[in-house]
Chain A
Amino acid sequence: MSEHDDLSRRAARRALLAGAAAALAGVTIAPGIRLIEVAQAAAEPGAPVSSRVRWGLLIDVGRCTEGCSECVLACNRENGLDGGTRPTDSQWIRIVELKDRRTGRKASAPVMCQHCANPPCVDVCPTGASFKRADGIVLVDRHTCIGCRYCMMACPYKARSFVHEPLTHQKPEVPRGKGCVESCTLCVHRIDRGDGPACAQACPTQAILFGNLNDPQSAISRRIAEVQTTQLRADFALGTGVRYTGL
Chain B
Amino acid sequence: MSGLTDLAARRESRFWALAVAGAVVLAAGLGAAFLMEHQGHVATGMSNEIVWGTPHVFAIFMIVAASGVLNVASIGSVFGQTPYKAYARLSGLLCLALLAGGLMVLMLDLGRPERIVVAATHYNVTSVFAWNVLLYSGMFAIVVVYLWMLMERRMARWSRPAGIAALLWRFVLTSGTGMIFAFLVARQAYASALLPPLFIAMSLAWGMAVFLLAQAAVDAWRGNAPLAVASPELLRRMGNLLGVLVAIVLYLTAVYHLTNLYFARQGSFERFILLDGGAYPLLFWLGFVLLGSLVPMFLLWRPGGGAPRAILAASACVVAGAFAQLVVFIIGGQAFPLEIFPGYDVASSFRDGAIASYAPTAPEVLLGLGGMAAAFLITLVGVQVFEIVPDRTAAAAGGE
Q: With contacts A88-B42, A154-B186 known, is A128 near B350, CB below 8 A?
A: no
Does chain B have a CB within 8 A of A96? yes
B348, A97: Cβ atoms closer than 8 Å: yes
Count, A-B residue pairs, CB within 8 A: 173
Against B, the Cβ 8 Å flags (1 = close, 0 = not) of A146-187 are 111110111111101111111000000000001111000000
Least Cβ distance of B355 to chain A in Å?
A: 12
Q: With contacts A153-B52, A157-B338 known, is A94 near B352, CB below 8 A?
A: yes
Select one of B49, B127, B344, B351 contacting A98, CB under 8 A: B344
A126, B133: Cβ atoms closer than 8 Å: yes
Does chain A have a CB within 8 A of B398? no
Least Cβ distance of A233 to chain B in Å?
A: 6
B111, A180: Cβ atoms closer than 8 Å: yes
A162, B48: Cβ atoms closer than 8 Å: yes
Does chain A have a CB within 8 A of B386? no
Select one of A89, A91, A236 contacting B185, CB under 8 A: A236
B42, A145: Cβ atoms closer than 8 Å: no
Against B, the Cβ 8 Å flags (1 = close, 0 = not) of A214-247 are 0000000000000000001100100000000001
Q: With contacts A97-B347, A165-B39 known, is A148 near B129, CB below 8 A?
A: yes
The interface residues of chain B lying within 8 Å CB-to-CB of A178 are: 40, 111
B356, A87: Cβ atoms closer than 8 Å: yes
Main secondary structure of the interface of A (DSSP, over half): loop
Q: With contacts A98-B345, A145-B112, A153-B51 known, is A127 near B123, CB below 8 A?
A: yes
The interface residues of chain A lying within 8 Å CB-to-CB of B341 are: 96, 98, 232, 247
Bound together, the chains give a CA A165 to CA B36 distance in angstroms of: 10
Question: Chain A: interface residue count, which band?
Answer: 35 or more
Bound together, the chains give a CA A127 to CA B352 distance in angstroms of: 29
Binds B, one of A12-20, A40-48, A99-107: A99-107
Residue picked from A111, A155, A164, most chain B C-beta under 10 Å? A164
Select one of B122, B186, B348 contacting A236, CB under 8 A: B186
Q: With contacts A96-B346, A153-B184, A166-B40 known, is A87 near B111, CB below 8 A?
A: no
The interface residues of chain B lying within 8 Å CB-to-CB of A180 are: 111-112
Bound together, the chains give a CA A128 to CA B113 distance in angstroms of: 16
Instruction: Specify the chain B residue showing the minimal Cβ separation from A167.
Output: B40
The interface residues of chain A lying within 8 Å CB-to-CB of B346 are: 96-99
Least Cβ distance of B127 to chain A in Å?
A: 5
Instruction: Specify the chain B residue showing the minimal Cβ separation from A114.
Output: B340
A96, B348: Cβ atoms closer than 8 Å: yes
Does chain B have a CB within 8 A of A95? yes
Residue picked from A126, A129, A160, A164, most chain B C-beta under 10 Å? A126
The interface residues of chain B lying within 8 Å CB-to-CB of A232 are: 340-341
Select one of A96, A101, A122, A157 contacting B347, CB under 8 A: A96
A124, B112: Cβ atoms closer than 8 Å: no
Select one of A100, A148, A166 contacting B110, CB under 8 A: A148
Among B14-68, those with CB < 8 Å from A are 37, 39-42, 46-49, 51-52
Bound together, the chains give a CA A147 to CA B127 distance in angstroms of: 15
Least Cβ distance of B6 to chain A in Å?
A: 51
Bound together, the chains give a CA A124 to CA B128 distance in angstroms of: 6
The interface residues of chain A lying within 8 Å CB-to-CB of B334 are: 153
Instruction: Specify the chain A residue showing the minimal Cβ separation from B132.
Output: A126
A127, B111: Cβ atoms closer than 8 Å: no
Instruction: Specify the chain B residue showing the minimal Cβ separation from A100.
Output: B344
Does chain A have a CB within 8 A of B124? yes
Does chain A have a CB within 8 A of B5? no
Does chain B have a CB within 8 A of A144? yes
B40, A144: Cβ atoms closer than 8 Å: no
Does chain A have a CB within 8 A of B130? yes
A165, B349: Cβ atoms closer than 8 Å: no
A126, B130: Cβ atoms closer than 8 Å: yes
Select one of B37, B338, B349 contacting A91, CB under 8 A: B349
Least Cβ distance of A68 to chain B in Å?
A: 13
Against B, the Cβ 8 Å flags (1 = close, 0 = not) of A180-198 are 1100000000000000000
Bound together, the chains give a CA A33 to CA B167 distance in angstroms of: 66
B118, A155: Cβ atoms closer than 8 Å: no
Does chain B have a CB within 8 A of A82? no
The interface residues of chain B lying within 8 Å CB-to-CB of A144 are: 115, 118, 122
Does chain B have a CB within 8 A of A80? no
Does chain B have a CB within 8 A of A120? yes
A123, B127: Cβ atoms closer than 8 Å: yes
Does chain B have a CB within 8 A of A125? yes
Least Cβ distance of A222 to chain B in Å?
A: 26
B345, A125: Cβ atoms closer than 8 Å: no
Bound together, the chains give a CA A72 to CA B350 distance in angstroms of: 12
A129, B122: Cβ atoms closer than 8 Å: yes
B122, A87: Cβ atoms closer than 8 Å: no
Select one of B40, B110, B115, B343 contacting A165, CB under 8 A: B40
Instruction: Specify the chain B residue showing the minimal Cβ separation from A160.
Output: B48
The interface residues of chain A lying within 8 Å CB-to-CB of B128 are: 124
B349, A94: Cβ atoms closer than 8 Å: yes
Q: With contacts A126-B119, A127-B122 known, is A85 near B349, CB below 8 A?
A: yes
- 5 residue pairs of the A-B complex, CB under 8 angstroms, read A126-B124, A127-B118, A145-B115, A153-B334, A158-B338
Give A residues with C-beta under 8 Å from B: 72, 85, 87-91, 94-102, 111, 120, 122-129, 144-150, 152-158, 160-166, 178-181, 232-233, 236, 247
Given known contacts A148-B110, A149-B51, what 4 new A-B pairs fall within 8 Å (CB)? A91-B48, A120-B186, A126-B127, A147-B110
Q: What 10 A-B pairs have minimum CB-CB distances, sorted nearest first?
A: A147-B111, A179-B111, A156-B186, A87-B47, A126-B129, A128-B124, A94-B350, A127-B122, A126-B130, A149-B51
